[in-house]
Structure 1
Amino acid sequence: MIEMNLLGAASFRIAAAIISITCIFYTTVLKTKKSIRRRLFLILIYIVFTDSIVGLICAGVAEIPDIPYKVKYDICFFLNSFYYFIHFGTVVIFLYYMSFVCDVLFRFGKVRKRIILLPLAIIDIAILTNPLTHIMFSLDENANFKNEAGGYVAYFISFLYFINCVVMLFKYWKAVNYTKIAALAYFLVLTFIGMVVQLVFPLISCEILCEAIGLMGLMVMVEKEDERLDSTTKAYNRIALLQDLGNIIGMKRSFKIICIRVDNADNYRRIMGVDSFDRILSEIVSIIHGINTYLNVYRNGDANFFIIIPDADDKKVNDMAETLGGRFEEGFFTDKGETKVNATILVAGYPDEFKYADDIVLLSEAPLDADDYGKIIKGRNLEFLLRTIEVEKAISQGISENKFHVYYQPIYGKKCGCIKAAQALLKLEDDELGEVNFREFMPIAERTGFAEELEIRMIESIMQFLGNDVNKGYMNIDFVLIHIMAAKVLNKKLVTTVQELLVKYNVDPKLIAFDISDTMAEMSEDNLRYVVNEFYDTGIRLFLGNYGKDSSRITLDAMEKFDGVIMSAWRFLDPDMVKQGDIIMRARTDMLTQLGKKILIGGVDNKIYFEKILEVGGDYMSGNYMSAPLSKNEIQVRFWDYDRVVLGCET
């Protein structure tokens, strides 16, 4: 309502107008991404500003004695009608604004949207007919405003809208950022206080001022998104991506996601320069907005972009992916001329392919096959990538929740067939994926930096087993073989940790043997030399693992401090891998025996391999044909029972 007392209303109206102008100016300067939410916010500001100006004009006209009463009455009546007409729409617009902030408008069906607008339509009709009915308000002989029954009903309806806003706030507060919740609650409380005060004390015209202050709070806490924007491309950043994914998943709203990965970004930046490449990244964002102005684009990492498309059908998303792919084929113009930038586009969806925000973000980080670069990957072609992401997540959870377990595969003597040693194997037992094979999770663990952590944990578990069970259980075991998982594990920290654990669990160093593959030996020669010397001096055994037909590149000097080698049966005996493998294997075993090296033949997983390795030299053998990996309790029983396998000559 408009108070006609100039001194009582002017200060509130002027303050509200100044705050509104400030909000309009600041919002315009911000130049945030175009969105329906931003437009609704601007409409709210314009309404408050207009109401403030209308109130000032009306109060001023009412105080000018020289204006004829009829003219004064008509002007004030028109201004009050206009004020009412736009002012009661504020709470309805704010309700829709809240639905965009909370991302719940998709839950409103067409009927519900019409029902929401129906009371406002009735109020506006009543205002338009008020000159005839005087049901909303009237003016006395001094052109002073007076609320009628319809005006109070309109305020009651506004209160019902207000209650609807409060219910929405409490119902969906978990799905919205706490800062936004606080800003929305602040606006609602401030507006409610202003409305109640002005209804109870008509001379205190503070309703518009309270709304203006509340909107300024929304502008600062909701509309200002500096912390969510990438400074270079003006796309949203990783923080915004995780927040928005969390919100939309929390609302259980289906959506499609397009991930654009610019391949070899570092090379492009070196070739064309940082500034030129950054301009290309900004142009990519502009291209996406050119397809759809209201799409949210997010930059994750160096040159990866995400597009979230709520409630989109497959055809629409596929067409967009094809359009983007075609645009990358055209190339980009830089200071050095036209440059073609290769990009891989991945298309996925929630909840069909992904169920968690962290998994979706991994689309920009998971490794791709060489043949997949520069293509559009979707549907079944995503299965390998999805599996990789699931395993990576399982590794992280497995470390934090102790789901990695050490198993022991028996190692038997080739001459006696009796159990002699054990090979430690690490297994991941995930609740969702079940048992994950070492060969599957290890490359992912190495790429993500978990290899060293897993190695240390496995070594400590083995040391604890040897110290607490073997020494006290009188197991006649030669050694436990531990596989070095990655080249980066070969460092001083490994040596120090092993030496400390030997002392901590009182383990005889001769019970420990490390398997270092020939590939790692070639990749980390300097670190290898240090580790080998330290372990050799400590009394720890060393085996050169993965020894094959190409391992002759390892020099005899490097082999000097190794106790022996590990040969995989399939590398020599698989007819698809090598011809006359048994002859090569026999020659290698004879040579190594002459050098005084112990030979462990692993991977004996079937009867054919078993029978063939009995014909060549060697000291130890292991494989699933003789025994599957066992728990520490099961391996103890095997040693206590002097387990042995039947050799060919004994059958």
Structure 2
Amino acid sequence: LAWITGLGVVLFAIGSVFAARRVTTPLRSLVHATETLGRGQYDVPMQHTDRHDEIGGLAKAFDAMRINIRAQQNEIRTLAYWDRLTGLPNRARFREAVQEQIQMASADSAQPAKSMAILMLDIDRFKHVNDVLGYSFGDQLLIAVAKRLTQQDMRAGDMVARLGGDEFAVMLTGSSAEVAVAVAQRIAKSFELPLAFEEQTVDMSASMGIACFPQHAQDVDALLSRAEVAMYAAKSRTTLMQVYDASLDSSSTETLSMLSELRNAVAQGELRLFLQPKISLATGHVVAAEALVRWQHPQRGLVPPLEFIPFAEQTGFVRQLTMWMFEESARITQTLADLGAGFKLAINLSTRDLLDLEFPARLDAVLAKYALPASAFCLEITESAIMDDPQRAQSTLNLLSQRGFKLSIDDFGTGYSSLAYLKSLPVDELKIDKSFVMNMETDEDDAKIVRSTVDLAHNLGLTVVAEGVENALIWDKLKALHCDEAQGYFMSKPIAAHTFAAWCATWNARQQQTA
């Protein structure tokens, strides 16, 4: 009996061990599997899913969770690295790929780094297409650009990406600047076929910038930045493409020196305010003036605006120049009281001013400082500045108009704004570009453009100013067309602000004598 009892105990113990192992082994397996999931490894299937007991049910539940997590992670990665509209890699994935190529190219320190080119592309006039033809057409344009870029003859390892908005980029592995230029030329050729969508057709063109590793930069951020600098240089010069050069970069020594000098010019009082009068064609009297800045450099003398204004716009320093001009204009307004309550000083705004959300508040502070109404000023904006970002520009213009500023479209006729969009803007005045006015006595087409613009503006209830009035014949033609105001060298070149009041007194007195 004793041995039977002992055998039973042994068998029970063995059975217990096997039973325990049948439970604990799968549980250890499941614990290990959850640890694997915790490390982000979602491709290893769960074991024991073929069991028909509670352990099997638990394993199946864990495996279903694994599959769901993997699907979610794949979707998150897709959202994080791919552009939904075009199906191309996005900026984050492109940057990661460029970084990987740089690391691979630099891996063998004993060998020269393998070259790579970045081609960055921006669609010309894309915001205008969105504004005039609608966002649906704009999306179709982006999809068409993506398709034409991916159809180029690329090597294995090359990548096309949409960086955002209307910017695309191409990574050309093992390629020089010369190869990238050839690719850019092929891309431009592919854009010659217009895009047709919903009975609308639009010509496609783009500005492209090229930067190379390791020639132009040795890290990913500098490389992408310099490709972008080259792209915007191509756009500003209206050329097809631009290979990066240090002279283009706002971080170059020469540019930093110019920026330092400009800051010093403001601090040391080297800037000078000049005013060019606007004359009423009906009365001949001075009714307004455009504020202009000149730089009295201690070594170079009087620096023309074309030598520093474009630079200021490129670097963003133009915002400081705008505020300097506005404050100087506000200060000198007190000396121009004799010109009447309706006299206005006009200040030019840049794209950066329009996109600066704090800009209206800064103008408010200057007005409060000098106890002046906003109605004493006219703010001039070019069509191109508005069309760079129409929605934000219109928002800023609405705020300025609500404050009482008079708003003027400068250089009208040279930009891309539509008449429908013009009607929606809170503007009070159109300035006809001087390129049309100066030739209207000899070019019938220019004369027609001026005549049509005057009629258009008057029909919209706007004042019309003609720039570039160089002689009496043009003055007389504009007067016959019932243009409101004239500005140009026939009346006066820009005058130093401190002598402007005296000039106006002399001019107005002469007009009264000849009336």
TM-score by length of 1: 0.42
Cα gap change, 1:646/1:465 in structure 2, threshold over 3 Å: closer, same or farther?
closer
1:454 to 321, 333, 336: 321
1:527 to 385, 392, 396: 392
Q: Which residue of 2 aligns with 1:430?
A: 297
Structure 1 position 546, deviation (Å): 1.7
Structure 1 position 607, deviation (Å): 5.6
Show the 5 A alignment for 1:99-114: none
Which structure dedicates a bigger proportion of its chain to helix?
A: 1
Does the 8 Å CA contact 2:410/2:432 hold for their aligned counterparts? yes
Amino acid at match of 1:444: F
Larger C-alpha radius of gyration, 1 or 2? 1
The reply on whether 1:409 has 2:293 as its aligned counterpart is no
Q: Which residue of 2 aligns with 1:341?
A: 176
Show the 5 A alignment for 1:13-24: none
Cα gap change, 1:410/1:572 in structure 2, threshold over 3 Å: closer, same or farther?
closer
Show the 5 A alignment for 1:269-308: 270=95, 272-280=97-105, 287=112
d(CA) in 1 for partners of 2:110 and 2:424?
Answer: 56
1:631 to 496, 502, 511: 496
What whole-Å deviation, never above 9, does each CA across 1:254-302 have from its counterpart, x for those lacking one?
xxxxxxxxxxxx99964843121244468899649xxxxxxxxxxxxx9
Does the 8 Å CA contact 1:572/1:581 hold for their aligned counterparts? yes
1:586 to 435, 448, 451: 451
d(CA) in 1 for partners of 2:415 and 2:466?
Answer: 16
Aligned length: 322
Show the 5 A alignment for 1:426-575: 426-466=293-333, 468-471=334-337, 478-548=343-413, 553-555=418-420, 558-559=423-424, 561-571=426-436, 573-574=438-439
d(CA) in 2 for partners of 1:575 and 1:601?
Answer: 11
Cα gap change, 1:579/1:275 in structure 2, threshold over 3 Å: closer, same or farther?
farther
Structure 1 position 450, deviation (Å): 0.6
What whole-Å deviation, never above 9, does each CA across 1:83-132 have from its counterpart, x for those lacking one?
xxxxxxxxxxxxxxxxxxxxxxxxxxxxxxxxxxxxxxxxxxxxxxxxxx
Structure 1 position 598, deviation (Å): 0.6
Structure 1 position 478, deviation (Å): 1.7
Cα gap change, 1:577/1:516 in structure 2, threshold over 3 Å: closer, same or farther?
farther
Name the SS for the 2:398 alignment partner.
helix
What whole-Å deviation, never above 9, does each CA across 1:319-346 have from its counterpart, x for those lacking one?
xxxxxxxxxxxxx99899952032779x
Does the 8 Å CA contact 1:268/1:277 hold for their aligned counterparts? no
What whole-Å deviation, never above 9, does each CA across 1:476-532 have from its counterpart, x for those lacking one?
652111111224444331111112211210113221111122222222333333333
Name the SS for the 1:498 alignment partner.
helix
Show the 5 A alignment for 1:52-451: 270=95, 272-280=97-105, 287=112, 339-342=174-177, 373-374=242-243, 391-392=258-259, 394-451=261-318
Amino acid at match of 1:470: L
Cα gap change, 1:576/1:606 in structure 2, threshold over 3 Å: closer, same or farther?
closer
Q: Could you list the runs of 5+ residues in structure 2 that have no partner in the other structure? A: 1-90, 120-154, 160-171, 178-209, 213-225
d(CA) in 1 for partners of 2:256 and 2:477?
Answer: 40
Amino acid at match of 1:274: Q
Name the SS for the 1:402 alignment partner.
coil
What whole-Å deviation, never above 9, does each CA across 1:527-548 have from its counterpart, x for those lacking one?
3333333222222211122211
Name the SS for the 2:508 alignment partner.
coil
Deviation larger for 456-465 or 553-562:
553-562
Does the 8 Å CA contact 2:467/2:486 hold for their aligned counterparts? yes
Q: Which residue of 1 aligns with 2:460?
A: 595
d(CA) in 2 for partners of 1:283 and 1:571?
Answer: 61
Name the SS for the 1:643 alignment partner.
helix
Cα gap change, 1:492/1:365 in structure 2, threshold over 3 Å: closer, same or farther?
closer
Percent same amino acid among aligned pairs? Answer: 16
Does the 8 Å CA contact 2:451/2:481 hold for their aligned counterparts? yes
d(CA) in 1 for partners of 2:110 and 2:462?
Answer: 62
Q: Which residue of 2 aligns with 1:613?
A: 478
Amino acid at match of 1:597: L
Q: Could you list the runs of 5+ residues in structure 1 that have no partner in the other structure? A: 1-265, 289-301, 304-331, 346-361
Structure 1 position 574, deviation (Å): 3.6
Does the 8 Å CA contact 2:438/2:468 hold for their aligned counterparts? no
Structure 1 position 610, deviation (Å): 3.9
TM-score by length of 2: 0.52
Name the SS for the 1:410 alignment partner.
strand
Q: Which residue of 2 aligns with 1:354?
A: none
d(CA) in 2 for partners of 1:376 and 1:454?
Answer: 27
Amino acid at match of 1:523: D
d(CA) in 2 for partners of 1:270 and 1:639?
Answer: 59
Structure 1 position 627, deviation (Å): 0.7
Amino acid at match of 1:469: T
Name the SS for the 1:625 alignment partner.
coil
Name the SS for the 1:641 alignment partner.
helix
Does the 8 Å CA contact 1:569/1:609 hold for their aligned counterparts? no
Amino acid at match of 1:561: P
Name the SS for the 2:299 alignment partner.
coil
Does the 8 Å CA contact 1:626/1:645 hold for their aligned counterparts? no
Q: Which residue of 2 aligns with 1:309?
A: none
Amino acid at match of 1:524: D
Cα gap change, 1:401/1:587 in structure 2, threshold over 3 Å: closer, same or farther?
same
Amino acid at match of 1:339: G
Amino acid at match of 1:341: S
Does the 8 Å CA contact 2:101/2:173 hold for their aligned counterparts? no
